[in-house]
Structure 1
Amino acid sequence: MKRKTFCSVLLLLLPLLTLCSQEAYMGQIQITRRSFSLSGSQLHIQMEVNYEGLQMPSDESLTLTPFLLAGEQSFDLPSILINGAEKQKVYERTRVLGGASDARNGRNSTPSVVLKNDRKASRRFTYKVTVPFREWMAQADLMLHTEECGCNGREAATYDDRIASGILLPEVEVPGLEKSVDVRCLSWVNFIPASLESADYRL
């Protein structure tokens, strides 16, 4: 009887383990439902990103760049730019006038997606991407590089947080992956597309 009760408790805990969140950027960003899978020579990565707790001035921005890291090997994934309300106005005005954005992202100068930090709208999105698989990625960690804009004379601080330790591919698959994913894509809520001319995304 005791053994049966113990097994029942484990079954109840499984959904909680799958949904376990990982904090980033001083706890202001939550990452859940991390999942990884291989399809041929393609590595599929998916995660839920929640920035409801982001404390950022309206005239500043934040760039998120996920990347794979294993020893000296690293591979940057498409980045996301989150603008405050005032910063978004400047960004849109610059795009209309055809000028260069003043967003600073040392790893990737052109973000794949631009989001507005709007408290009246959903501040969470699903990040999906497919990249060519390399052997070293089998034991890589999934990291998140967060870079502040350095606006208003402030120093641009950067943060590197480990989102998943040792994704262990191809031997292990983390539960939760949508098996139908077979192309490179990013999906999100309340999005504003950036330049996608040279990318291979499907919305």
Structure 2
Amino acid sequence: MNLKSLCIATLLSLGFVGAAASDKTPTDAVRASNIDVARTENNLFVKMDLDLSGYSTLNSNREVTVTPMLVNKEDTLRLPALTIAGRSRYYLHIREGEEDWPSPALYKASKNLTVPYQASAPFSTWMGKAELVLSAKSCGCCGEPIAATDIPAKTLDLTPKEKVTFRPLFAFVTPKAELVKHREIKGSAYIDFPVNRTELYPDYRRNPAELAKINATIDSVRLDKDVQFKAMTIKGYASPEGSYTNNVRLAKGRTATLKDYVLGQYSFPASIIATSYEPEDWEGLRRYVEKSDIADREGILAIINSDMEPDPRNEEIRRRYPRQYEFLLREVYPGLRHSDYTVEYTVRNYTDINEIKRLIFTDPRKLSLNEMFAATSAMDPASPEYEEAFRVAVRMYPESTDANLNAANIEMRDGNLESAARHLEKAGDSPEATYARGVLEGIKGNFSSARALFERAASRGVKEAGAAIDNLTAIEENDR
């Protein structure tokens, strides 16, 4: 006996023939929820919950086969199907055995029937933009098809997503222009004077070289057509040995003598050179001892830093540490007899970008930060000279918050994060500096800290901060 004959005989014996005609259960009663379709490079995975309770009134001798499918134009992938059967059909299948099932899963129609569905298949490119469809087909006695419905469940987008990374915009600041560019050159000369005398002999011992240093500094300003000599200061120092009263005489007199020498070399009015003096250079002695490894260093420093008068202080070092004192007297005290000088001048303003670009790399002392920044606008941002211009600027103006902020941007752009962090420590608390600190946190991957800094910068008007916040949001969404 074949399956159809067996089916009819069985239904007749159970009294179900003819009862199917009144069944009104629609084929589209299946509902899908919690749909999750994912892919790897080679495989596709489908997970969802199928609510089949809509078939609870299915006639006893009918069944519905639900086949999930991926459909994209002419391409179709049929996933494993499941069957929901009325009571008679269900038990008929049970008696007939699994080999005759039209699908691998069989469920008896009932209320609250929800099936967790999972399937996998080899992935093909066309599936990336496919539609997940639930194809439901109802059958009557002995499998005669009655109705079929395709139910759209979800439109897929499984095309590979481009990795979203943190790509900050750098907010450079334009330094304020200098109305008058004041500059100065500092130096120290170690003029040899005869013992206990204030007369200056240009040819005496090392004086030719030391006086030439002063003249060269003055000439570098005086002979430059772009600058104007403004003033000069000279401060003379004597060393701590001898009486303080006599050292006052020596420091004051030697400074005046050096001023007279300079005035004799140039046609400057006397008023252009201001002088001062320090009878004993205790500060210079302190700096030397602090950096040295001289024996009993702390004891010597304690005396230097004491509130004793100069003469007893010097005598106390000699008395308590005679060997060290002899070393200081021989090797250190001569260097404490020096004349510090400063040449002050102004520099003209520059408007020619090509001239400014040349000066950045040849004589950057003449340029203001504003002029240097203006020159960068004429440089290729990807060029070495562009980056070096900002590094020159911060070397020339190491305490400038603007120079440090712009240099930090360059270092972050090049991946030199430690150098960038050092510059940001000196970049101040401007909105742009807050934003730059956010950029540093973002580059490090500290997105929560970066977002907080970007939001603060955005509230203070930094336009780049809004784009940075959007960038972080895109990264978060991409990682979900």
Q: CA deviation at 1:153?
A: 9.7
CA distance in 1, matches of 2:145, 2:81: 21
Q: CA deviation at 1:95?
A: 1.7
Aligned to 2:475: none
Query: Could you say which structure has the greater relative contact order, defined with CA pairs below 8 angstroms and 6 or more residues apart?
Result: 1
Aligned to 2:16: none
Aligned to 2:44: 43
1:30-52 residue CA offsets vs partner (Å, 9 max, x unmatched) = 21011111123111111110111
Answer yes or no: is the 8 Å Cα contact 1:150–1:157 preserved in 2: no
Report SS of the residue matched to 1:92.
helix
CA distance in 1, matches of 2:135, 2:79: 10
Q: CA deviation at 1:29?
A: 1.7
Q: CA deviation at 1:53?
A: 2.1
Q: CA deviation at 1:85?
A: 1.3
Name the structure where strand makes up a greater proportion of residues.
Answer: 1
CA distance in 2, matches of 1:152, 1:76: 23
1:112 to 91, 104, 110: 104
Report SS of the residue matched to 2:49.
strand
Describe the shift of the 1:36–1:125 C-alpha distance in structure 2 as closer, same or farther (beyond 3 A): same
| 1:64 maps to amino acid | V
Moved over 6 A (4+): none
Aligned to 1:82: 84
> Aligned ranges for residues 10-159 of structure 1 at < 5 Å?
25-26=27-28, 28-54=29-55, 55-95=57-97, 100=100, 110-119=102-111, 122-151=112-141, 156-159=146-149
Q: CA deviation at 1:126?
A: 0.8
CA distance in 2, matches of 1:152, 1:131: 31
Answer yes or no: is the 8 Å Cα contact 1:145–1:161 preserved in 2: yes
Answer yes or no: is the 8 Å Cα contact 1:38–1:170 preserved in 2: no
CA distance in 2, matches of 1:157, 1:171: 38
CA distance in 2, matches of 1:88, 1:154: 16
Tell me the number of residue pairs that the alignment of Structure 1 and Structure 2 aligns. Answer: 135
1:62-111 residue CA offsets vs partner (Å, 9 max, x unmatched) = 10111100010111000101111111111112229x8x45xxxxxxxx31
Answer yes or no: is the 8 Å Cα contact 2:27–2:147 preserved in 1: no
Matching of residue 168 in structure 1 with residue 154 in structure 2: no
In the alignment, structure 1 segments of 5+ residues that lack a partner are 1-23, 102-109, 173-203
Report SS of the residue matched to 1:66.
strand
Describe the shift of the 1:74–1:118 C-alpha distance in structure 2 as closer, same or farther (beyond 3 A): same
Name the structure where helix makes up a greater proportion of residues.
Answer: 2
Answer yes or no: is the 8 Å Cα contact 2:129–2:159 preserved in 1: no
Answer yes or no: is the 8 Å Cα contact 2:53–2:110 preserved in 1: no
Q: CA deviation at 1:129?
A: 0.8
| 2:119 maps to amino acid | V
CA distance in 1, matches of 2:149, 2:109: 19
Aligned to 2:214: none
Describe the shift of the 1:82–1:153 C-alpha distance in structure 2 as closer, same or farther (beyond 3 A): closer
Q: CA deviation at 1:152?
A: 7.8
Q: CA deviation at 1:116?
A: 1.2
| 2:79 maps to amino acid | L
| 2:103 maps to amino acid | P
Answer yes or no: is the 8 Å Cα contact 1:68–1:142 preserved in 2: yes
Q: TM-score, normalised by structure 2?
A: 0.26
Answer yes or no: is the 8 Å Cα contact 1:49–1:124 preserved in 2: yes
> Aligned ranges for residues 171-186 of structure 1 at < 5 Å?
171=160
Pairwise CA RMSD: 2.4
Q: Percent of aligned positions with the same letter in both sequences?
A: 22
CA distance in 1, matches of 2:145, 2:126: 35
Aligned to 1:8: none
CA distance in 2, matches of 1:130, 1:123: 23
Answer yes or no: is the 8 Å Cα contact 2:27–2:137 preserved in 1: no
CA distance in 2, matches of 1:149, 1:141: 25
| 1:138 maps to amino acid | G
Describe the shift of the 1:75–1:153 C-alpha distance in structure 2 as closer, same or farther (beyond 3 A): closer
Aligned to 1:183: none
Q: CA deviation at 1:25?
A: 3.6
Q: TM-score, normalised by structure 1?
A: 0.60
CA distance in 1, matches of 2:47, 2:97: 29
Aligned to 1:3: none
1:147-169 residue CA offsets vs partner (Å, 9 max, x unmatched) = 1113389751111111112x110
